[in-house]
Amino acid sequence: MLKVGLTGGIGAGKSEVSRLLVGYGAVLIDADRIAREVVEPGTPGLAAVVDAFGTGILHADGTLDRPALGAIVFADADRLAALNAIVHPLVGARSAELERVAGPDAVVIHDVPLLTENGLAPLYDLVVVVDATPETQLDRLVRLRGMTEADARARMAAQATREERRASADLIVDNDGPLEALEPQVREVWDELTRRTAAH
């Protein structure tokens, strides 16, 4: 099994790269998606979050009110740390479970948005960074996601710099151009990953 960390700045096109890799046969473990799953209604995760933050973070139907929770934790580093202490171990356990069932010959892609920020590169056999210029990121966030320029710039500023991300990379996918320029690069990355899996 080859464990690959996939990361990239907001708007760099990481989702598109992971979609292509899955199409070639990779097993995807999406940390963001798992983080949502572990706090769904009826889970021990949601119960622990409610214990820590109160019922004010729930919608009337019992689902997590993410904006309400976000307003609490993003204004207070201690509260954010408390939330992470609940959610991160659950995400880690679920990721490990998914990895176990993937099989010994699998290429397992861990989609981890904050890999660089959290110093997680050593957890993986190699790291793939999806790279785009800040100008391209900004354009995509405003044009494709409908963010205001100020909001987009704030989100970008909260992440690692482009240089920091590139420094953590074993392989870099340049996604500054159109979609049709991306596919051949991702195919090359896949070929390299399968070579390394065989050698592993």
pLDDT per residue as tens digits for the range 41-58: 999 999 999 999 999 999
Domain region containing 39: 33-103
- Confidence grade of residue 67 (pLDDT, cut at 50, 70, 90): confident
**Domains identified in the chain, total number:** 2
> Can you give the C-alpha Rg of the chain in angstroms?
18
Q: What is the mean pLDDT of residues 62-67?
A: 93
Residue 149 burial by Cβ neighbours in a 10 Å radius (0-12, 13-18, 19+): exposed
Residue 73: per-residue pLDDT: 87
pLDDT per residue as tens digits for the range 13-39: 999 999 999 999 999 999 889 999 999
25 Rama class: left (phi>0) / alpha (psi -120 to 50) / beta: left
pLDDT per residue as tens digits for the range 112-153: 988 998 899 999 999 999 999 999 999 999 999 998 998 889
- Name the 3-class secondary structure at 8: strand
Same domain, 22 and 110: yes
CA distance 143 to 124: 33
155 pLDDT higher than 90: no
Q: Is the Cα torsion angle 91, 119, 78, 67 positive or negative in sign?
A: negative
Same domain, 116 and 199: yes
Residue at a domain's end among 57, 81, 103? 103
Residue at a domain's end among 68, 88, 103? 103
- Confidence grade of residue 154 (pLDDT, cut at 50, 70, 90): confident
Helical pair 149-157 and 134-143, crossing angle rounded to 10 deg: 130
- Confidence grade of residue 164 (pLDDT, cut at 50, 70, 90): very high
Q: What is the mean pLDDT of residues 160-184?
A: 94
DSSP characters over 65-106? -HHHHHHHHTT-HHHHHHHHHHHHHHHHHHHHHHHHTT-TT-
Residue 71: per-residue pLDDT: 85
200 pLDDT higher than 80: no
Same domain, 92 and 54: yes
- Confidence grade of residue 77 (pLDDT, cut at 50, 70, 90): confident
Same domain, 72 and 59: yes
Same domain, 122 and 189: yes
Residue 179: per-residue pLDDT: 82
Q: Which element (helix H / strand E) includes 195?
A: helix 179-199
Same domain, 63 and 49: yes
Q: What is the mean pLDDT of residues 163-179?
A: 94
CB 138 within 8 A of CB 131: no
CB 129 within 8 A of CB 8: yes
State the Cα torsion 178-175-192-168 to the nearest 10°.
180
CA distance 76 to 71: 9
Q: Which element (helix H / strand E) includes 109?
A: strand 107-111
Same domain, 11 and 91: no
* Average pLDDT over the chain, rounded to an integer: 93
The pTM of this model reads 0.82
Query: Please, what is the Cα angle at 22 between 100 and 6, to 5 degrees?
Result: 75
Q: What is the mean pLDDT of residues 169-195?
A: 94
